[in-house]
Amino acid sequence: MTDVARAAGVSQSTVSRVFSLPDTVRADTRDRVLEAARRLEFTPNPAASALAQGRTGTLGLLVPNVVNPYYAEIIKVVQHRARTKNHTLVLADTGDDPEDGFALARTVARQTDGLLLAGPRMTDAMVGELARSGPVALIGADAPAADSVYAEPATGMRQVIRHLAALGHARIVYVDGTLTARDPASRQPVHDACEEFGVDLVEQLGPFDLTFDHGVAAADLLPTSGATAVIAHNEMVAHGVACGLARQGRSVPGDFSLVSVDDTFMARTIYPALTALHVPLDLMGARGVDLLLHRIEEPGGEVRHSPLPTSLVVRESTGRPGPVSGGV
Amino acid sequence: MTDVARAAGVSQSTVSRVFSLPDTVRADTRDRVLEAARRLEFTPNPAASALAQGRTGTLGLLVPNVVNPYYAEIIKVVQHRARTKNHTLVLADTGDDPEDGFALARTVARQTDGLLLAGPRMTDAMVGELARSGPVALIGADAPAADSVYAEPATGMRQVIRHLAALGHARIVYVDGTLTARDPASRQPVHDACEEFGVDLVEQLGPFDLTFDHGVAAADLLPTSGATAVIAHNEMVAHGVACGLARQGRSVPGDFSLVSVDDTFMARTIYPALTALHVPLDLMGARGVDLLLHRIEEPGGEVRHSPLPTSLVVRESTGRPGPVSGGV
DNA sequence: ATGAAAGCGCTAACAG
DNA sequence: CTGTTAGCGCTTTCAT
């Protein structure tokens, strides 16, 4: 930068201004500096500016599993949003362990301006501690201590159960996801919705890892349940359930109707295409970035929570209960 | 750090040593410092150390599409490997445009110690330019100017074609991927393998985007091709082809055998499970990180290329050609 | 083994 | 609008 300054015949601070506050420099000086910088192939050193400013221009994103399309889509949206706001993304895959996630979060927090936690597995207390030591926003989850954006759980479940009830299903099974440190309350909406529409929630299977294989395992438990419809906590599980049933020689939606509680490219892509509760991941990701950036600007502001509406996308995996179902 | 030094009754440089070169400090002094640090909740500022050392402890990873399971798995492996080597990951999603990718790469390169390009869409010249200005390693691609790790294309294709030939397929179609700036030579292995096993390469459809939808589109072109088997350049395309055929009322492998040229969780997860050319993504990712780290240590070393063996995983999507096939 | 001191490259008052 | 002057918090010789 000093070299550029000399080459352009200005002071080093002017060069700095050209790059960080271009408008505060007269146009012709700026051009001279830019020209010199180009000739010398100069670009500002981000580490130095990070140190001087106390800002890295970097956001941290933590997800439990990069390979899960749900998180992959969030990553994609977040990365793009961050980029349009001139930030880069530090990504970390935490796995399902709360402690690991917490430890990783602290590390990442140290080298970024703020933390985005997507589907965090940690407790509210952990989230609170992170939020106390730096800007934090939650994506797809809620906690009192941090800004958050998430899908409205109650209305989403209502949409699902209402759909199944309307088709004539009276007994359903809910295949739960990973039991994490945050989940205790997460099952309430299902119960409430079932009650509202007079549906019998036969059983909650699980917790299962949110994976295909565990969906297959869950499928084995279905035939004896007496249910005619299944709700899967996530797409990969739903998919596993579908395949598991197929291997038993049962069909979807002939023998069981199946609903997935998220909706990425997989839901419409597998066979049969899944009726799914669509969660607006693009909005969630973008909103998460905005919330975080806002908090970075105003660390003291009031905590904001942003529930987003879901929509039920009816595809091929749900139908009227078959004449023969339940039992074995 | 100064505070910790005072609290521990040592100089600030000793504190620094405790964190960066622990072995150069006597055990009891070290403990005293660590204790003081703990009490004051001190952690070293990465930005400052980055500036002083000229090292950020950060690796950049560029992928064309985060949502593609192929890249998602690479991201996951790379992140974990980087982490075990005490580096964090800056992730960027470039899309398919070479220029965008190149621009993003320059940005990311500036704030990391080195760049990992997975499935880069840019030209060898661009890769060369990046490699000249900083450490670069390629994952799943090859270029003279940079270290690289990739699947051996020739032997992989031989495995695929040989399998199809053995089943009795004499006419096949290859559904190509996105045409990028790097591709001109990528089709050679298919031709060679077809020749070797006396198979007729009826047509190369494409380029198609590497997406499900384009797979569906490709499927529409198959019935008139006279082929009995299809090779898809990637899993999502393969999946699209399978669904497209299903919509036409054709079956896999009954009417067409189908092989996918990569193999992530999707291949065994969809219906029918795909016969696929397995590429060792875990090795590729880890190797990529190692190559890059090595080059960061020794910027002058000789360029290393690391082809990895593939293996054909036979599942349900391939079989003998059906009695009625081709035509319409 | 530890301390003193000189930066790393940039930003940010503060003058002018 | 531009130059001067201090740092930002850590690493790293060079002494001791």
Tens of pLDDT along B290-301?
999 999 999 999
Q: Using the CB atom, is residue A57 less than 7 Å from strand C?
A: no
Q: What percent of chain B has pLDDT over 90?
A: 75
Cis status of the peptide bond prior to B207, with omega within 30 of 0: yes
What's the average model confidence in pLDDT over A248-273? 90
Q: From CA B237, how far away is CA A86, in angstroms rounded?
A: 33
Q: Which segments of chain B have a pLDDT < 70?
A: 177-186, 204-210, 323-328
Give first-to-last CA distance, chain A, whole Å.
Answer: 77
DSSP sequence for B242-285: HHHHHHTT--TTTT-EEEES--SHHHHHSSSPPEEEE--HHHHH
Going by the DSSP 8-state scheme, the letter that residue A294 receives in this structure is: H
* Model confidence pLDDT, tens digit, residues A201-217: 987 666 555 578 888 88
Q: Which two tokens mark B63?
A: 């992928």
Q: Please report, for chain A, how many H helices and E strands are present, in that order.
A: 13, 12
User: 3-state DSSP call for residue B184?
Assistant: helix
Residues of chain B that touch chain A, judged by Cβ-Cβ distance less than 8 Å: 43, 45-48, 50-51, 56, 58, 65-67, 69, 72-73, 75-76, 79-80, 83, 88-93, 104, 107-108, 110-111, 212, 236, 239-240, 243, 246, 264-265, 269-271
End-to-end CA gap in chain B: 77
Residue range A286-314: average pLDDT?
Answer: 96
Query: Residue B12: which of B38, B43, B33 has the closest Cα?
Result: B33
Give the neighbor-by-neighbor strand order of the sheet with A136-139: A305-308, A147-151, A136-139, A114-118, A58-63, A88-93, B88-93, B58-63, B114-118, B136-139, B147-151, B305-308
**Residue B84: partners with Cβ closer than 8 Å, 6 or more residues away:** none
Q: What is the mean pLDDT of the segment spanning A41-45? A: 96
What does the pLDDT read at residue B282? 97
Interatomic distance A268 CA / C3 C1' (Å): 67
Rounded (5°) CA angle A248-A254-A255: 50
Q: Is B145:B127 a contact under the CB 8 Å cutoff?
A: yes
**HSE-CB for B34 with a 13 A CA cutoff:** 11
Say if residue A130's pLDDT is above 60.
yes
Predicted local confidence at residue A328, as pLDDT: 37
pLDDT value, residue B326: 42
The reply to whether A110 has its C-beta less than 7 Å from any atom of strand D is no
Lowest mean pLDDT among A29-38, A250-259, B232-241: B232-241
Mark yes or no for CB contact A265/B67 under 8 Å. yes
What's the mean pLDDT in A51-76?
96
Q: How far is B154 from chain A (nearest CA, A)?
A: 28
Whether A291 and A138 have beta carbons less than 8 Å apart is answered as: no
Q: For residue B325, what pLDDT is reported?
A: 43
Question: CA–C1' distance A3–D1 (Å)?
Answer: 21
Closest CA to A228 of A163, A313, A168, A188: A168
Mean of the per-residue pLDDT values of chain A:
91
Tens digit of pLDDT for each residue in A261-272?
989 988 888 878
Indicate yes or no: pTM above 0.85.
Answer: yes
> d(Cα B36, Cα A134) in Å, to the nearest integer?
22
**In Å, what is the separation between the CA of B44 and the C1' of D8?**
13
Q: Do A66 and B89 touch (CB under 8 A)?
A: no
Tell me whether strands A114-118 and A147-151 are parallel, antiparallel or unpaired.
unpaired
Q: Torsion angle, CA of B198/B273/A119/A275, rounded to 10 degrees?
A: 120
CB A151 within 8 A of CB A307: yes
Strand C closer than 7 A to residue A51 Cβ: yes
